[in-house]
Every structure is written in structure tokens, then in C-alpha cells.
A and B are shown apart, each in its own frame.
Chain A
Amino acid sequence: MTLLSIENLSLSIRGIPILRDVSLSLNHGEILGVIGESGSGKSLTAFSVLQLLPRGTTCEGRINLLGEDVLTKSEKALCAMRGRDVGMVFQEPMTALNPVQTIGAQVAETILIHEPQTSKVDAMERAAHALTRCGLPQDRFPLGRYPHEMSGGQRQRVVIAMAIALQPKLLIADEPTTALDVTTQAEILDLLARLVREDDMGLMLISHDLAVVSDMAHRIAIMRNGEVVEEGGADLHRTMTHPYTKALFAASSHQPERNASPEDTPLLEVNDAIRDYTLPRKSLFGSADTFRAVNDVSFQIKRGESLGLVGESGCGKSTLTRAILGLEPLQGGTILLDGQPVGPQVRRKMQVVFQDPYGSFNPRHKVARLVSEPFHLLGRKATDAEIDEALMSVGLTPADKTKYIHEFSGGQRQRIAIARALIIKPELIVLDEAVSALDVSIRAQILDLLADLSDRFGLTYLFISHDLSVVRAITDRCLVMQSGKIVEEGPTERLFTAPAHPYTQTLIAAAPTLPES
């Protein structure tokens, strides 16, 4: 018997159609990858299996789970089904757990809710077993731990333990590794694959990342605008026929064309930079310890060069970025831009683009004002011509300057962020995870735009990212950072094909890769 079969599912929220005729099926022990960009309806498809949908949602069609139609079940029957027959793992492990309850209590709750006759002691024992299965052994992660005492990857293991505590037949994982570092991502994916094998579970793995899914799924479905456009086996990259699937694969491994050639003179010089943070004092009169976030880092960026900086969260790359921007004082070493120490005088030669295209604009200002913000460094106002030019150089129109930021999509906002960085014609642009929040097709466009701008204006880039494939696509040279130190440095291609440092090797091995088509 098929474990899950979704037949012609259509879903609308307050009359607006979101999903159209979605049909998917999943067997015991099988991994189905569901791929789509934001707004494709992949998450809503998953949530409709659990019937955890926003208010005002209506579903049509059939969702057969273990031979019963989920859509005809009462709320009471649905509650009995959730957690027992279907487990769910979410994207954001940092917020998916109740911060004021111990992990033991939260895992045991799954058991106690569905088997109220179980004693608390038994439930705790089974919770411990589930946590151990998920790689959190009791000697190191006792049941009394609170979520804030654990890392993101560990919290995701707790969420998974909660989902599999009753050994459900179906596990739904919605972007389970998107918020995690590559090495942690690899571990969590391994864990999911092992649990599927051991419990003969079906796994519906939802992701925007083709590489993640291609590595482990038995079958892959591609969604766009609420429809499944193509479904195939693990060899979808060879059998694909739909143009959108092809476009998605192409965008995922997109390599922008770059012609700029770096000059020999250094633009940015970081010499023996040290940044210490003071930790809270342990006792009232004791001396405070320090944490060295950036430990004796030295490197140069040449004019016209594109330099990548990769490392996992907490490695110090953000601190280093802020120090380069002159936003963090150093405890040792110097950072020179064009021969001068970074500070207000040279700040206009350097601009920055941040990760979050939604949070980095004041929503009450119009685009013209947002884009002309860096002009305070020059002590004059931007002219209309300058604003128009900046907007046009990133592929927008001068008419956009009278709009507010909420009228733009994520990709357009990132273009506006780049226009804001470009407008005073800086020499160095710092791109801090600038494409990490974007869909693959938009990301490919932005990478093309960046390559084109660097060719046209001779721009120098410092490209900070946790995403190795992006860094590989856009940079000439690359630094690998771990625990505050640069552990390896070299031409990007060499670094990726023949990494020398063990940490670089681990990173590259952990990064999911697209199969060659």
C-alpha cells in the first residue's frame, strides 16, 4: 500500500488559489524530494498533509495517508494523527523549540499526548532513547538541558527526536538544513537518511536546494506556482524535460562570465588584525576573560579582484567584515584601504551589501532617499541623474525611485541595495552573504549583475559567504576562516579542486553537489 498519495490537491487561501492539481506519492522507506523556489507552494503542500494551514484555507482533492483521507478527518482525529503517524521537522531550529521547557519534557510530550496512560518516568526514558538515536547521548545531553544551551544543529536533532519519538510512518522535513552550516547540514541529512532506513519511514524532504535533495532523494518533484511541473527519479538531471527544471538546474550551477583582471596594487590590506571581545565577568571582582574573534588575520585584496571569505557561523567572518568597514575597533594590527587606515575619511571608497533584502531598508523612505543614503559621506545631496544612473546600472528604471521598498520583490530589493552601494562610485564593495537569501534563479541574475558591474566599473569585491558554490562561481581567490584564523588561502579553483588544509577538505566534502548532467 502506498504510504502517502496526494491526488489533485488544490488549495486556496481566502479565495486566492495557491496550489493547483498537485499529485504526489510516497512509499515506505522512500525519500521524496520536493524542490521549488519561494512561493512555489512546496511548504503549503507539506502543511496540508498535517492540515496545519493558515485560517481561511480550503483544500480540494484527496490526501490519502495510510489508506485514510486526511481532508475528511475531524480536528480531533487530525490531532491524534499528527505526531503519531506523521512527524514534522522545520526549517528554523533556533525558534522551533519552546525556550522555557527542557528538551526532555518537549520530546516526552509527543509520547504523553498520544499515549496518556504512559507514566512520566517511562515517557522520559523513551525520550532519552529518541534523543540518543538522534545523536544526543544522555551523558553529554541530559534531558534537563534547555534549548538555549545547545547549538543550532543540536536543536535540530531535538526537533527530529520529537518527530520520530513515536516512530511515525511519514516524516516531513521542511528545509531542515537551510539554517545550518554545511558540515552540520551533512550530519543532519545523514541522520535523516539513517532514520528512514532504520524505521522504514517515508520522508518528504522539502528544499530550495537542488544539490541537497539530489544527494539523497529517491524521487524528486519540481514545483512552481503551486503546480508540480515535473517528477522523476534520482537521475532527474539526466531525464528532465520541462524547461523550468532545466532552468533551475542551470541556475543552481550558474557560473557568471567574468572578464575583469586584477591589477597588482593592493586596495585593502589587513595586517595582523586582532579583535577581542570581553566576556561577562565570572565574579564581581574577578578579571574579565576575553574571546578572540579575529586572531592575527592578514590578507590583501588587489584592485579589481574578487576575493571570497568562507567559514562557518561563529568563525569570525562577520566580525572581520565589520572591522574592515570600520565598525569594530581592533586590539591589534591595522586595516588599510588605499594606504589609509579605515575610518570616516576613506569610508566613501567602500560600500556594503547585506544579506537580508527585507530588513536592511527603512520602510518609510522612498527608493530615491534609500539609494542616496551614502551621500552623507560626501557631504552633499545626490542629484536626480546620479540616482537614475545607479538604478539603471542594476537593471531597474528611474521611475522606481518614487516607490517604497515594500513594492519590490526580494531580488529587486537586493538590486536596490547594490544600487545604494554603487551610487558614490566606491572602489571596494563588501558583499556580506549578499545572495544567500535569494532563490537560485534570482541569485544567478544577481551574480551576473555583479560580474557585469565589476567589468564595467573595475570594482573590487570582498565576498563573504557560507555558501561554497556561490563563492566558487564569483571569486578569483578565496580565504577559509576557522575559529578566528585564516587557515587556507589560494586561487579559488585550486582551493576547491585541491584543498590543502584538513578543515577546507571537510568543508568541501560536506558541501552537497549537483550531479553532472
Chain B
Amino acid sequence: MLRYALKRLGSLAISLIVASLVIFACIEVIPGDPASFMLGINAQPDTVAALREELGLNASLATRYLSWVTGMLSGDFGTSYTYRSPVAEIIGDRLWISLPLALIALGLTVLIAFPVGILAATKRGSWADMSVMGATQLGIAIPNFWFAMLMVLLFSINLRWFSAGGFPGWENPLAALKALTLPAIALALPQASILARVMRSALLDTLSEDYIRTCRAKGLTQRQALWRHALRNAMIPVLTIIGLQFSFLLAGAIIIENVFYLPGLGRLVFQAISQRDLIMVESVVFLLVFAVIMVNFAVDLAYAWVDPRLRGRS
């Protein structure tokens, strides 16, 4: 198990290095000079040159890459071109919205998908199964921003249970959670629909495996066979999807953050791109990549916990 974890850790480090190179290279080829963008179209060439010098844009590629990477390692992500304040601070503030939002949405996804998927699989072909399949089809088809607006109409404007947008800050945790509730539901709905379907089909697959028949021949009821044997085996595809979904929820909340005026990472990166705040874009993108790679690492470890075949011979 330890060897497996170390191996995964090694490939994690390599992925991070490659990702940092790719991100750096992509940012380099994007047209548009941040210095002239910041100073506007009427700027004098010598002012632009001076600003370029100040921003360190004239140094060689290798130097700039190395200073970016070593800076990040020591927690210094550089200074934003547009905000004129440390990137790490800005990201830190925004992360405290995006990360909890993603976690709440993921929690909701799992809480909805597991029971629903298991129910559909155990009652295959029944009306319960049919309605689950129909509802999840709908859940995947409905765009989440539209669903979000419907929720705002109902819960914020008509019923006045929730605010329609904005974020009060974590000083009042209850109010903060309340502000994240509707966005989390909007994010979770399509994800839960997907996960429920994956859960159902993975369970149906494992329920038709030979070892389930062996269990039944031992005297287990269908229910016991499902809970004791099928579920853990069905977790492997489900974990894969959960890993992908968490990455998506963290990085893909841009639209929902815009609908609810949440100052999260998605909005930050969206603004940074349109303002050519390259250092900010680089850092946020790398942070998201880092999060995705860490989640994959966690999923890999979870695989090994579920499936002894992956642990290797001890």
C-alpha cells in the first residue's frame, strides 16, 4: 500500500511540473502585452517599456519561469497587474468561497446520487427505477444556470427565503452557508443526476457478477449480497466519476458564480483573462490544476482502499 502511495505521489510531482510548463507556455503565446493593456491605447512607447521593465517582462523565458515556480513554492504568487496587490491574497479570499461551494455541492451530489442510484438498481424495472431514470435524464438536460435562475425566482423573489446573490463573508457562518445553498444546489443537480446513473449501472453490473451468485448460494439474501458485496465493487467507477466531478465543481463554477454574484475563483479568472492580468491567470489556472491533480491522487488512494488488487503484493 505504501509503495503504491509513493508511486502515485511520484507521478503527482511529475504531473505538476509538466502542468506548470504547459501553463507557462500557453500564457506566453497568448497575444496582448499586459503593460500596454494596463496603460491604455494612448500610452507612450517609453512608458510602456518602463512598465515592462518594472513587471519583469523583459527577462528571459527561463528566468521568468523559474522565478514564477520558486515564488509559488514559497507562497509568493507575484503581484497582480490590475489589482496591484499580491495574487496569493486575492486568490486566498476567493478560494474561501469556491472551495466550500465545491465541497457542499459535492456532498449534496453524493447524498442525492447514492440512495437514488441504489434504489433504482435494487428495484430495476419498477416504477421507482423508471422515475429515477426519467428524473436524472431531466437533471442532465436542464442547464444549471437556468435552473439557478428559477430557484432565485422561487426562493429569493417570491418566498424570500434566500438572498438572490452576493456573499456576506465568513464572519457570520450561518449567513455564509445560506448564501452558498442555492448555488450549491444548482451545481449539484446535474452532477447528482450523472452520478446516480453511474451508480445504478455500476451496481447492476456487479449484481450480475458470478460472485453475487456465489453469495446467494451461501444463503445471503439479495439485499445482503448487495450491501456486503456488490456495493464496494461498484464503487470503482463511481469514484472515478466523483473525482472528475469535484474538479469540475471547483473549476467549472464560473457561470453559477456569475448568476449569484459570488466573488469566487471562476469570476476571478474570468475577469483576469479579459484584463490581461497574466500573472493572475497563470496562478489561478495552476491552482486549479493543482487541485485537480490532488483530487486525482485522493481518488487513486481511494481505489486502492476499495480494491486490494491495486495495492500490489505485499
Contacts and interface: CB of A to CB of B under 8 A. Distances in A.
Interface of A: 50, 52, 75, 79-84, 87-88, 90, 92, 95-101, 109-110, 113-114, 146, 148-149, 159, 162-163, 284
Interface string B247-289: 0000000000000000000000000000000000000000000
26 contacts: A50-B217, A52-B217, A79-B221, A82-B217, A87-B217, A88-B214, A88-B217, A90-B214, A90-B217, A95-B211, A97-B214, A98-B214, A98-B215, A98-B229, A99-B233, A99-B309, A100-B233, A100-B307, A100-B308, A110-B219, A113-B219, A113-B224, A146-B308, A159-B214, A162-B218, A284-B10
A98 B233 contact: yes
B226 to A, nearest CB: 12
A84 B219 contact: yes
A95 B210 contact: yes
A98 B307 CA distance: 10
B308 A114 contact: no
Interface in B4-24: 10
A246 B183 CA distance: 75
Nearest to B308: A146
Nearest to A50: B217
A80 B218 CA distance: 9
Contact of B214 (A75, A114, A146, A162): A162
A90 B313 CA distance: 27
The 8 closest A-B pairs by CB, nearest first: A83-B219, A88-B217, A95-B210, A83-B218, A82-B219, A98-B211, A146-B308, A110-B218
B1 to A, nearest CB: 13
A14 B33 CA distance: 73
B307 A99 contact: yes
Contacts of A95: 209-211
Given A80-B219, A98-B214, 9 more contacts: A50-B217, A52-B213, A82-B218, A83-B217, A83-B218, A95-B209, A95-B211, A96-B213, A98-B233
A82 B222 CA distance: 13
A84 B219 CA distance: 8
A28 B306 CA distance: 42
Interface in B35-66: none
A114 B220 CA distance: 9
B19 to A, nearest CB: 21
Contacts of A101: 229
B123 interface: no
Nearest to B236: A100
A369 to B, nearest CB: 31
A503 B216 CA distance: 40
Contacts of B217: 50, 52, 82-83, 87-88, 90, 163
Given A113-B224, A148-B309, A97 B218 contact: no
A162 to B, nearest CB: 6
A291 B224 CA distance: 43
Given A92-B210, A162-B214, A81 B219 contact: yes
Contacts of B306: 100
Nearest to B229: A98
A148 B312 CA distance: 10
**Which of B213, B217, B220 has most A Cβ within 10 Å?**
B217
A90 B210 contact: yes
Contacts of B213: 52, 90, 96
B114 to A, nearest CB: 18
For B10, B214, B229, the residue with the greatest tally of chain A CB atoms inside 10 Å of its CB is: B214
Contacts of B308: 99-100, 146, 148
A109 B211 contact: no
B160 interface: no
B8 to A, nearest CB: 13
Interface string B287-309: 00000000000000000001111
Contacts of A80: 219
